[in-house]
Structure 1
Amino acid sequence: MGDFNEEYDVVIVGTGLTECILSSVFGAEGKKVLNIDQNSYYGSESASLNVMEMWKKFRWSDEQRRVEAERTKAEEEGKPVDASAAPTGPEPPAAFGKKPSEWNQWHISLVPKFLMADGELTNVLHKTGVTRYIDLLQVGGSYVVKGGVPYRVPSTRMEAMTSSLVSSFQKFYMQNFLQFIANYKEDDKSTHKKGLNLDQNSMREAYKIFGLDAWTSEFIGHAMALYVDDSYLDRPAREPIERIILYVRSMARFGKSPYIFPLHGLGELPERFSFLSAVYGGTYALNTPLQEILFDDSGVVSGVKFPHPNTKDVVTVKTKKVIADPSYFLGQDKRIRQVGKLIRAICILTHPIEGTENADSAQIIIPASQTGRKNDIYISLVSSAFNVCPKGFYLASVSTVLENPDSGNPHAELEPGFDRLGLGSGRLGKDEEKFIQVVDLFEPVEDGTKDHVYISKSYDASTHFETCTDDVKDIYKRVEGKDLVIEQRKDEQRADES
């Protein structure tokens, strides 16, 4: 780590995916960017950890982590340390590895999410050239649960005709709707639906115009448009229709599902965006907590203070803009407000998910109506095919918005998901494990345009990144006062043309 500059155009606090994308975008625009993170790894909440790091995070006590941190600090300072000393906390079972080289075969995503094959984030990856440094693999299937059974989500007329997901009576209407989605072109009125104005009619009215019943509308809205609740129904139909078009277009790219996932896990994404930002001259500093944001007499950001990652001396740099994730403002009610809680379980399995044709990867959505809830339950599955775990193992996640946070038994809200994984009623097979975490969800109170402190949103319960890219675009517009348009790098454009 070299010396810091005296001044930066923007200081970004946190290395989550949202922050790292913005860091690379501003770097590509020629801005001088500093990115700091209090953690020792890239990714913040969107990081990938090895199995020993998972044990430290979820199985060690605060005291055990404190002792380990002191030992690590002593090693960094060159003080004598017993190299043969055992870790201060428990190690993973031997089946998951007995030494660091085996623990490092695991890349467990803390916020397991997929990318849409033709989605905003994937387009950003291509245009910025990040795909030069990572491999993206197809996810095996996209499913929705009805009556306790997972069904593939139909995305073409033929699939709608053969699917058992919808009734025989609804198949005709579903086929017509998907034909409309496949053919729709904004500038070709012959592809528009008579009686449907996307800007004037609500999506609830659009479903009615196509003759779609409540269940068909629900799985389209949640498993294809990927809404987390039903509030979209009474908004204009344009955005939901565009989301469904994106789903179908992404599905067409590979055939099995519209989703892709990075080889070696999601931790690759923030790390590669960080690398890209560094290529543009950006500065990164891990193990560097934010100490203070400084303001001028008019209440606008003028700088930040933080301890130097090596010397621990206080460093002050000038800046006029700060972007940060909400975890750096906990307890500051004027900065962030809690909008709910989610509960997420990360599971190590030794088997695929029943009902998915033994898929090595999948997304499954359990709609709220199937469980008597207000919010859907999301399930993701990846395997050793993605180099995220040793052969014979699978990594699954189950997540949902916590609806009864005061019940004293939040795990019960994941029970339908655990049943789908074969882990119902607390069951765990041999060499299986699960890590459960309740997470507070935050959003910024102000938009940041007054004092130039721009705060991102917490990651939601869904298993896709579309809401994350929405946040990236929203923050960029608040910072720059214009829409985010990412131009393709010239070297990438030449590569595409060749």
Structure 2
Amino acid sequence: MQEYDVIVLGTGIKECVLSGLMSLNGKKVLHIDKNSYHGGESTSISPLEELYRRFKVPGPPKSIRRGKEWNVDLVPKFFLATGQLVKILVHTEVTRYLDFKVVEGSYVFKSGKMHKVPATEEDAQSSDLMGMFDKRRFKKLLHFALNFDIKNPRSHQDVDPEKTTTREMFSRFDLGQDVIEFTGHAIALHSSESYLDQPCLETINRIRLYCESLSRHNTSPYLYPLYGLGELPQGFARLSAEYGGTFLLNKPVDEIVMDNGKVKAVRSDGKLFHCKQLICDPSYVPNRVRKMGRIIRVICLLNHPVKNTHEASSCQIIIPQTELSRKSDIYICVVSYSHSLASDGMYIATVSTTVETNNPEKEVQPALELLEPIMQKFVSITNLLVPNEDGRKSQIFVSRSYDATNHFDSECEDIKDMYRRVTGEEFCFGRPRNLSHNSDDD
């Protein structure tokens, strides 16, 4: 009989981060995955031929050679340069195993045109998203957010961060509707309009995070790992192994053994592994999760940069929901050969959003039109699953499915929340540092 403090099922990014953190905390950790590869739902696919097989699409065409040069992320998400995931990477020193490169641009699609997201005074002055008076008001909002200190009431400018709604805060700065939309969705990265009637503190913090991340690299606030997100779970797996964690890949999970409503062990390949706590993704405990919606992702292979992005080899594009009379935004993540993810001159653009109708592909058609011509599309529609309970009673802690956003902010909130429930403690980060191995003009 083998005893562990924590057993982790699945090698998705969240599970591997938590496995690494538990090992770092001195816990004896066993990590099991039913798949033969790391990453789970968020894995990287290589070679390219495997992507075609996975989606049952004939190909690839002869014009796309050297399939081994491709690493295609099924759930691509950018890192904010001073964001929570970067802080976790620095805290755990997983940065030793990864190389990053700055994403070249951040854009918002408004009024039928592509616009660079302004997040500095210089950007604001040259932006065609705003008129002269709006530029002044937007500049004041940026100053307010960057100088805001929750502990210093003098910096609040009569805004109560816990009571003043974001809508009221925007009204105080007399911002026009267009400015509110790109600020809320392309800078604060809210995915729907519900934030407007919430206390403004979170939005202030999000604006500051975006601006501080941008100040690190100037071209955009985002980073992406060379060779794709598949490097991330492997980096945390190496961390866990360094601290005594054990990994078993390609192992079935036959049963989760309970005792008086509490997890006792995991049975795999006829062997019983005892544990005090269990961490897993939703696929291992279908009876402990519920469906909250659906996500559509369309992976597109391109042989050209996206139009009107200044020939960017990588960028984020957001189409705010009001632009298309929707309830949620549409996201486009563009990466390429510059991040060692595709052959020379080739690009991978992934469109994602929360499904709102019975015709998901039609919902993302406006985004796909921005990418034309598309060499090949791979469409997936997945359920957004969330746990039924917080896990404290059963000691089974289940992660949420990956949402439609193409940045890691909400996923990090889930990691922090799970860490809090598993350990009973808040996770405290160290200060982030510059992770990009390239210069800004590289």
Aligned equivalents of 1:161, 1:486: Cα separation in 2: 35
Equivalences for residues 317-466 of structure 1 within 5 A: 317-330=273-286, 332=287, 335-404=288-357, 406=358, 409-423=359-373, 428=374, 432-466=375-409
User: Does 2:284 match 1:287?
Assistant: no
User: Does 2:427 match 1:476?
Assistant: no
Aligned equivalents of 1:275, 1:225: Cα separation in 2: 33
Equivalences for residues 10-159 of structure 1 within 5 A: 10-50=6-46, 51-59=48-56, 91-97=59-65, 102-159=66-123
Q: Give the match for residue 200 of structure 1.
A: 163
TM-score where L is the length of structure 1: 0.84
Aligned equivalents of 1:293, 1:26: Cα separation in 2: 20
Matching residue's letter, 1:299: G
Q: Give the match for residue 268 of structure 2.
A: 306
- Check conservation: 1:107, 1:388, Cα contact below 8 A: yes
Aligned equivalents of 2:392, 2:339: Cα separation in 1: 41
- Check conservation: 2:291, 2:386, Cα contact below 8 A: yes
Q: Report deviation, 1:169.
A: 3.0
Q: Report deviation, 1:46.
A: 1.3
Q: Give the match for residue 237 of structure 1.
A: 200
Q: Give the match for residue 257 of structure 1.
A: 220
Q: Percent identity?
A: 43
* Structural RMSD (CA): 1.6
Q: Give the match for residue 274 of structure 1.
A: 237
- Check conservation: 1:157, 1:179, Cα contact below 8 A: no
Q: Give the match for residue 87 of structure 1.
A: none
Q: Deviations over 1:222-258 (max 9, x none)?
A: 1111111122222211111111110000000000100
Aligned equivalents of 2:223, 2:252: Cα separation in 1: 33
Q: Deviations over 1:379-401 (max 9, x none)?
A: 01111111011101001100111
TM-score where L is the length of structure 2: 0.94
Matching residue's letter, 1:484: F
Q: Deviations over 1:188-216 (max 9, x none)?
A: 444332x2011111111111111112221
Distance 1:487 1:180, change over 3 A: closer
Q: Show structure 1 runs of 5+ residues with no match.
A: 61-89, 308-313, 489-498
Q: Report deviation, 1:487.
A: 6.1
Q: Report deviation, 1:185.
A: 2.9
Which has the higher mean CA deviation after the structures are superposed, 223-232 or 341-350?
Answer: 223-232
Where 1:358 maps in the other structure, the secondary structure is coil
Aligned equivalents of 1:138, 1:277: Cα separation in 2: 27
Aligned equivalents of 1:278, 1:443: Cα separation in 2: 29
Matching residue's letter, 2:116: R
Aligned equivalents of 1:113, 1:289: Cα separation in 2: 28
Q: Report deviation, 1:94.
A: 2.3
Matching residue's letter, 1:104: K
Q: Report deviation, 1:322.
A: 0.7
Q: Report deviation, 1:156.
A: 1.5
Which has the higher mean CA deviation after the structures are superposed, 343-352 or 173-182?
Answer: 173-182
Aligned equivalents of 1:91, 1:287: Cα separation in 2: 27
Q: Give the match for residue 182 of structure 1.
A: 146
Where 2:364 maps in the other structure, the secondary structure is helix
Q: Show structure 2 runs of 5+ residues with no match.
A: 432-442
